[in-house]
Structure 1
């Protein structure tokens, strides 16, 4: 608190900014008086097309603090792009009409009015935080607008959490799950207003100070540092001396830390990885969290390797490296630490962090690796622990199908993120999808003609003694992992074999499973129609149905043929397949399988493309696909993804020559007349503006004026130009 007051005494704010902020708040209240809110209509609340709706003012009129980001579902009810009122987002998005819309909005409006009434009566602790129909930051802003003397206009958890710690707010409130940010923010504001200089400040100035102090300050970084180097284990010295160290480039850097010579000294490090490690080490700051680690590999039952991250302990830096640096002849570069916890933990699937020093940037990695810290003091990591883990309520068996190049791979990745984390907004889809795969929540396999039940469910393998033992397939392994999440256990077992045995025992003994808070798992099956699906799934075709999964109405337990293990599919496992309709038609799928999967068609979408220089790319794709539909069928049309990365005319030429033309040759078995029709016609020679042209052969010259040439009836030869020009492409659609 002392540091906070000292910083506040040096803080100034332009008076005009304060006046402007208050004027905007008054404009909002004039537009939506408090007494009129009980009669607010859904159109006045959510019809953003008028640019005068309640939620439009909240987000876009720059009234007090910002609540941008996320998605429109944060307002409880919103108007979607198709003009329909909705609630929820992504897979949970649902349109509301008629009486249901009126009922849902009335409930939302009544909650807002009730919460405002409670705030006005100073009964903020009675606000039902866990039952909010809109996001907490939105409710906070509404309360702040109408009661600026009770709330400040910063609503971010990354600000409210550390401020609460600095103000010594009740630990019961700070450690609550979920944490009541409405009450917490109010108590923080009230406590500030009891003390000078905040007591005499305007609410706008208090809020700006809080944001400058916490919202814009450096975020704590998370690191992993190796404790074994060249067959020496430094962990005992880390414990004894309460330091971490980097024993590479054994040279004392103390004289150079505050000089311009440091970069030239570091340039002497020949090994680029060691140089990067030293540079990163010197950038570590006070308060940063460090996991002391090593890695190893472990061979699984099916013969594959899993890479394991072993955490030996977690610490906090007592000073930034540039301030606390000392050089030790044995340890090398060191910095003092304060141990947070020293218990060992094994994290299978995270052993890819093999370098001497890693900066961990992904929140999902931080949450997994630094779990104990986030549980004991979430303000350290800034991780949101209030979101429900398992909130997916969509279909459990889904197939994306369509012609090649229609974005099935991208949409699969996006769908997976929506399943596992509720929404895929504000993340790099491809990178985040890879990250989820490394965590074991997503498994990816590709079906092919020889793929079998033994690969998918279970089979037999040699035990090395002349006998055989059962081997778990991909589906069985991920199902066991998902089933394990439904069991209550104080400490998660690290080895798959141990988790499997606990699941099998529970199934045999009839122990209860609870998947309410269990994480979702996803098995992605690429090219699902290339294998004999009935043969691959076997008796599990029955188990695919939603109501036959564990804890459901008609749950069905089977005994597997090789191991005789009891087996059932859990409700937190989604099977997500993709199929290319150019390879096999969806109509060829077994009827029993078709009715157990939800099918989502993905067709070419030319609207996703933009003209490139002098080429009408959307028009080009549309006309090509219309011609293919007439001459072949819609399952063999060309996907927009082929052109998504094209940025210049030359890129378009390259796609046509190396992707589109070969694909058409495959579709039409070198029927050049049809290929020519699709690509704008056939030229009589190479000079005409066509991609396909007739090859002219001088037969007299080729056969040395043989009289037999006149009697020969040779077929016409066709060729595709090796280099095409703008006119060749434009002829396709003009």
Structure 2
């Protein structure tokens, strides 16, 4: 049941400076495979091999709040009556599962809470007082406890997987208290292109280890991707490397660069023109070049001069994309 631990421990032991838990944010350009790295058993954290009951996943968004992250008291129809009960969400489920394993002799079995796109939500609002639990001691448990919300505490005691071992839990944590167990790991992803959506304060940032996931084609399928523009084929790798250099020059930042898996092929290794226009060229125009039009923008060709995204769809300019591709990289 816990054979996945060998994979996780092997990755951890590659850097003996790591604490006995993970509380990491994986960040980088869009399309660098941050979520893939979390699941990858060979070069990442190996969650692909972790028992489904030991991993919990969510994605933050602008309307996400504490109630959606932890849980809330909600109405439920029971026949003709309306009753109310605490409905646990991803954090509450992961918390109870981790303590259950920790207290029943399976302390080495790790539980993972994965938060995709952590910066797309208001972390201060979502975590609330749970923020205090992110400070860990040498064993990996929370250094400080907090008072549990009444409804959350009642659910833990009477309905969660901890109800049969509640006395053991209270003796470890304290009556009406919450503390993270050392086997509860928190992994999150963040696109640098979206980092200004909900800025994180420094107090929140310093409670995580930050792991940069660089743009790299080495040993990856993306090295073979080809872009097909009306029968002409262009190397996706060559395009990405060239355009990323132009993005850096134009914006003086790496935040908006393209990752190797920014787009996936329609068929085999071929990226179609329509897919390329709708995902890649629109991104480059909307996120990088639009505000710099005719002021250093690389949306230009020798024959056409500066052009807009709309120009790419005009019948009279049907060859403009091929001319653009030919100028920024060889066929």
Whether these two folds match at TM > 0.5 is yes
Q: How does 1:164-183 map to 2 (within 5 A)?
A: none
> Do 2:26 and 2:188's aligned partners in 1 also have CA atoms closer than 8 Å?
yes
Report the Cα distance in structure 1 between the residues aligned to 2:291 and 2:303, rounded to whole angstroms: 15
Superposed, 1:359-374 pairs within 5 Å as none
* Structure-2 separation of matches of 1:535 and 1:593: 12
* SS of equivalent to 2:26: strand
1:730 paired residue number: 326
1:664 Cα deviation (Å)? 1.8
8 Å contact from structure 1 (residues 559, 567) kept in 2: yes
Structure 2 counterpart of 1:90: 11
- Which of 1 and 2 has greater Rg? 1
Residue in structure 2 matched with residue 661 of structure 1 by the alignment: 281
Asked if the contact 2:135–2:143 (Cα under 8 Å) also holds between the matched residues in 1, the reply is no
Is 1:720 aligned with 2:312? Answer: yes
From 81, 94, 103, the equivalent of 1:478 is: 94
- In 1, are the aligned partners of 2:265 and 2:272 still within 8 Å (CA)? no
2:117·2:191 contact (CA, 8 Å) conserved in 1? Answer: yes
Q: Residues 662 and 626 of structure 1: is their aligned pair in 2 closer, same or farther, counting only changes over 3 Å? A: same
Which residue pairs with 2:242 in the alignment?
623
Structure 1 SS opposite 2:24? strand
Are residues 605 and 413 of structure 1, via their aligned partners in 2, closer, same or farther at CA, if it must alter by over 3 Å?
same
- Among 130, 153, 176, which residue is 1:540 paired with? 130
- Tell me the SS of whatever aligns to 1:720: helix
Give the TM-score, by structure 1 length: 0.34
Instruction: Using CA pairs under 8 Å that are at least 6 residues apart, name the structure with larger relative contact order, 1 or 2.
Output: 2
Q: 1:671 to 1:589 in 2, by over 3 A?
A: closer
For the residues of structure 1 that align with 2:274 and 2:91, how far apart are their CA atoms?
A: 40
How many residues get paired? 284
* 1:458-496 deviation per Cα after TM superposition (whole angstroms, max 9, x unaligned): 3211255666433322111111011111223xxxxxxxx
Local SS of the residue matching 1:523: strand
Q: Is the 8 A contact 1:404 1:582 kept in 2?
A: yes
Q: Secondary structure at the match of 1:398?
A: strand
Query: Is this contact kept in 2: 1:548–1:556, CA < 8 A?
Result: no
Give the match's secondary structure for 1:610. helix
Using the alignment, how far apart are the partners of 2:192 and 2:95 within structure 1? 28
Q: Specify every segment of 5 or more residues in structure 2 that has no aligned partner in the other structure, as ranges.
A: 1-5, 154-176, 227-231
Q: Distance in 2 between matches of 1:718 and 1:651?
A: 20
Q: Contact 2:300/2:307 (CA < 8 Å) preserved in 1?
A: no
Per-residue Cα deviation, 1:149-173 (whole angstroms, up to 9, x for no partner) = xxxxxxxxxxxxxxxxxxxxxxxxx
Q: Which residue of 2 aligns with 1:557?
A: 145
- Equivalent in the alignment of 2:120: 530
- Alpha-carbon RMSD: 3.9
Pairing 1:333-732 to 2, within 5 Å after superposition: 395-414=21-40, 419=45, 424=46, 433=48, 436=50, 439-462=52-75, 468-488=84-104, 516=107, 518-547=108-137, 552=141, 555-563=143-151, 565=153, 566-585=177-196, 588-607=199-218, 608=220, 609-610=222-223, 612=226, 615-632=234-251, 633-642=253-262, 645=265, 651=271, 653-668=273-288, 670-671=290-291, 673=293, 677-679=297-299, 681=301, 683-684=303-304, 693=307, 719-721=311-313, 727-732=323-328
Using the alignment, how far apart are the partners of 2:115 and 2:91 within structure 1? 10
Please state whether the residue corresponding to 1:409 is helix, strand or coil: helix
Mapped partners of 1:647, 1:473: distance in 2: 38
For 1:454 and 1:416, the matched residues in 2 are separated by 36
Residue by residue, what CA displacement relative to the aligned partner does 1:174-230 show, whole Å, maximum 9, x if unpaired? Answer: xxxxxxxxxxxxxxxxxxxxxxxxxxxxxxxxxxxxxxxxxxxxxxxxxxxxxxxxx
Give distance in 1, aligned partners of 2:183 and 2:300.
51
Change (3 A) 1:478 1:564: closer
Match of 1:308 in 2: none
Alignment of 1:192-231 (within 5 A): none
Question: Structure 1 residues 732, 412: closer, same or farther in 2, change over 3 A?
Answer: same
Scaled by the length of structure 2, the TM-score of the pair is: 0.70
Contact 2:289/2:297, CA 8 A, preserved across alignment: no
